[in-house]
Amino acid sequence: MNQDEKKALISFITIYTFSAFVLMSIIALLYYNKAVSEKTSMCKNDLKSTILAVEMDIMKNQLDHKIYQFNPKHYKLNVGLFSANKHPIISNLKYTNINFHKMLDMKPKRVHMVKQLSKPIQGIAYIVTEDLRMPKQFLNLKLLITTTILASMIFIAFIGYLLSKLLLKPVKERVAQLDKFIKDSTHEINTPVTALLMSVSALKKKGIKEEKLLRHISISSKLIANTYNTLAHVSFKDITHDEEIKRFDLKKEILKSVTFFKEIAQAKKITIQTNLSSTYVHMSQQDGAKLINNLLSNAIKYSHTKSDISVILKNNQLFVQDNGIGISEEDQKEILKRYKRASDLGGGFGIGLDIVNAICEKYKLKLTIESKPDHGSIFRIDFSGVVSTS
């Protein structure tokens, strides 16, 4: 699975799981509110029934001219009896911080209900009942809902993963077929392109008089060759090559590239000017060639006719400056991404600068862009990290 497929898979699972989480959270909240309402109603009924039972026992003893004897086992909940001065007469309440001004007082660890008798009986003016079950029930309810949501999210994420794999399967097969076709086509193009370039070179050596025709053939051949190199990079990027890291003069590689693109530039009446100092670097020569070729190819594509391109190599810095269409600040943030182009004027696949950026990231080279629309562009690469002194 490549990086793009991984990103698509992660995005799908994230959106799918998050959507399910939001829906489940709404359902859980509605369920929790309903359960709280039901449990609160049951708690109130239990508190009221306990108060009523205590009140009836007190009144019965009063009518029988007996002193009320408190029996905690006789009642469902804890009970406290208080005088008119709110002093405890008898109580088995666990929490004694009672608010006598509230009929129902709900706290995180207990619930109290207070009833004031119309007149004291045997010195009892207040009956207070206490429920310790409801807070625990709320806590258990929260734990149950949280556990259920977490377990459901894991299950939903797993189902999302299976669904995404299932949905991506035909797409992956189609992409694989297309990828195989591109690779095969790229491979097949290599032989005729090489033969064409060699034939043009041989014809030039023989002194054929049709210079203009030969120049057109040569330019077309080089354009095809450059396109082949771009396709080859995309098609075979997943194949590991044992590239030789060695010391070489970047100046010589730049001169090779300038010589190669000279005819292509001349077709647009573009002049490539150079100011190069020998700079020895330690990297793959193939990567160095790709980097320079793509910078030059990009500069030629987007330069205006009858303009200049400057290639400067000094103080371990490479500058490629054109006088072309330029790049806006907004496009500069996207231009290094694959298949992104600042303009359709120059054609191409939108891959060249992606290759440049990938090589810079590989060797930790600093790449900067200075550009404004209609004022050209300057691409600067700092090779200090790979410069070889010996």
What is the structure's pLDDT at 168? 73
Of 67, 101, 136, the domain-final residue: 136
pLDDT, residue 334, reads: 75
User: Residue 224 — pLDDT band, cuts 50, 70, 90?
Assistant: low
Comparing C-alpha atoms, which of 54, 50, 47, 51 is closest to residue 104? 47
Average pLDDT (13-35) is 88
**Is 176 part of a structural domain of the chain?**
no
Q: Can you tell me the mean pLDDT for 253-257?
A: 90
Q: What is the pLDDT of residue 240?
A: 41
Clarify whether residues 253 and 378 are in a common domain.
yes
Residue 345 is encoded by which pair of tokens?
């004027």
pLDDT at 239: 41
Number of domains in the chain: 2
Question: Is the separation of the CB atoms in 197 and 225 below 8 Å?
Answer: yes
pLDDT at position 345 over 60:
no
In a domain, 163, yes or no: no
Distance CA 216, CA 197 (A): 12
- Average pLDDT of span 207-217: 60
- Whether 293 is covered by a domain: the verdict is yes
Provide the token pair at 120. Answer: 């004291």
pLDDT tens digit sequence for 295-309: 998 888 888 888 999
Say if 95 falls within a structural domain.
Answer: yes
pLDDT for the residue 164: 79
Say if 198 falls within a structural domain: no
| pLDDT per position as a tens digit, 146-190 | 898 899 888 888 888 888 778 777 777 776 766 665 665 555 566
Range of the domain at 270: 245-386
pLDDT at residue 274 above 50?
A: yes
- Residue 74 contacts by C-beta under 8 Å, 6 or more apart in sequence? 53, 57
Q: What is the CATH number of the domain that holds 303?
A: 3.30.565.10
From 136, 161, 194, give the residue that closes a domain. Answer: 136
**163-167, 223-227, 296-300, 352-356 — which is least confidently predicted?**
223-227
Q: How far apart are CA 352 and CA 223, in angstroms?
A: 13
Question: Which of 299, 192, 216 is closest to 254 using CA atoms?
Answer: 299
Residue 254 clears pLDDT 80, i.e. is over it: yes
Residue 168 lies in a domain: no
- The chain-wide mean pLDDT, for the chain, equals 82
Which of 111, 136, 161 is at the close of a domain? 136
Q: How confident is the model at residue 88 (pLDDT cuts 50, 70, 90)?
A: very high
Residue 90 lies in a domain: yes
Dump the DSSP string for 211-260: HHHHHHHHHHHHHHHHHHHHHHHHHTTTS---PPEEEEEHHHHHHHHHHH
Check whether residue 253 and residue 382 sit in a common domain: yes
Measured CA to CA, the distance from residue 219 to residue 373 in angstroms comes to 28
Asked if 130 and 251 sit in the same domain, the reply is no
Asked whether residue 232 is domain-assigned, the answer is: no
Give bridge partners of residue 371 from the DSSP assignment. 377
- On the question of pLDDT at 390 being above 90, the answer is no
